[in-house]
């Protein structure tokens, strides 16, 4: 059924667009994902979503317990169209959801027992948690985390902007992942679901087109 819908929608996009979709989806992964906890600066949340898209991370998770929705479409520059964004009202529900999907909880923190980008075990499905610029991650995440990850720094400043940290971590770890023997690619079912969603966001008059499809099927 889904494959039939995908084939139907492909008839409404150009061949070059279809090829571009197939090329991008082949590099996407859900092996790594990222979660942001109560990030106050809206432009930082949006920039992190853009970073996920650039480095092929298909999902981003946003906890909005204190500050509400913090996604600026202008700064994300359309990235929110291509990344699956999950929103949570509290940290606990986010942690439970990701654990149920088989992710280990990774706290990004200057923890004394934290792994570096070079030594981190990329074989496990992992969600990287990022906290607020001022206070870092909540005690709830820190006490629940399975492991810790840090970016070594040698200057006087002890922290980086969240969007910069996310970019460094995702670039390094997705690069290692793609050159490894780990099965990091999306399943065929995941690819189909995402391609359908992308096409629906790319086709004009999609509501009318979907009505025609449902009427004919």
5: in domain: no
The neighbour count for residue 134, using CB atoms within 10 Å, is 8
Q: Is residue 39 part of a domain?
A: yes
Is 155 among the domain residues?
Answer: yes
Q: Which tokens belong to 194?
A: 């995402």
Angle between helix 2-10 and helix 188-202 axes, rounded to 10 deg? 40
| Residue 105 in domain | yes
Number of structural domains, the chain?
1
Q: What is the CATH classification number for the domain harbouring 64?
A: 3.40.1280.10
User: What domain range includes position 57?
Assistant: 27-184
* Distance in angstroms (rounded) separating the CA atoms of residues 97 and 99: 6
Query: Is residue 21 pLDDT above 80, yes or no?
Result: yes
Please, which pLDDT band fits residue 110 given cuts at 50, 70 and 90?
Answer: confident
What is the distance of C-alpha 207 from the center of its chain?
A: 27
Note whether residue 77 is domain-resident.
yes
- Residue 7 within any structural domain of the chain: no
Give the integer Cα–Cα distance in Å for 138 and 42.
Answer: 19
Residue 157 confidence class, pLDDT cut points 50, 70, 90: confident
Higher pLDDT, 77 or 109: 109
Q: Is residue 9 part of a domain?
A: no
CB-count burial class (<10 Å; 0-12, 13-18, 19+) for 210: middle
Residue 175 lies in a domain: yes
Which carries the bigger pLDDT value, residue 110 or residue 30? 30
Q: Which residues pair with 147 in a beta bridge?
A: 106
């Amino acid at each position: 059924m889904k494959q039939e819908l995908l084939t139907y929608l492909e008839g409404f996009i150009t061949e070059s667009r279809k090829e571009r979709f197939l090329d991008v989806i082949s590099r996407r992964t859900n092996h790594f994902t990222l979660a942001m906890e109560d990030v106050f600066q809206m432009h930082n949340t949006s920039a992190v979503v853009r970073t996920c898209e650039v480095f092929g991370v298909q999902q981003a998770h946003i906890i909005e317990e204190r500050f509400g929705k913090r996604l600026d479409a202008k700064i994300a520059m359309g990235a929110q169209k291509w990344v699956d964004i999950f929103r949570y009202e509290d940290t606990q529900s986010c942690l439970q959801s990701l654990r149920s999907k088989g992710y280990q909880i990774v706290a990004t923190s200057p923890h004394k027992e934290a792994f570096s980008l070079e030594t981190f075990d990329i074989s496990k499905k992992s969600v990287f948690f990022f906290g607020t610029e001022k206070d870092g991650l909540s005690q709830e995440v820190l006490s629940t985390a399975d492991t810790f990850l840090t970016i070594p720094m040698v200057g006087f400043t002890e922290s980086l902007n969240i969007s910069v940290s996310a970019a460094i971590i995702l670039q390094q770890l997705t690069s290692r992942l793609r050159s490894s023997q780990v099965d990091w690619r999306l399943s065929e079912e995941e690819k189909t679901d995402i391609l359908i969603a992308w096409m629906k966001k790319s086709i004009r008059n999609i509501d009318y087109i979907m009505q025609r499809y449902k009427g004919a099927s």
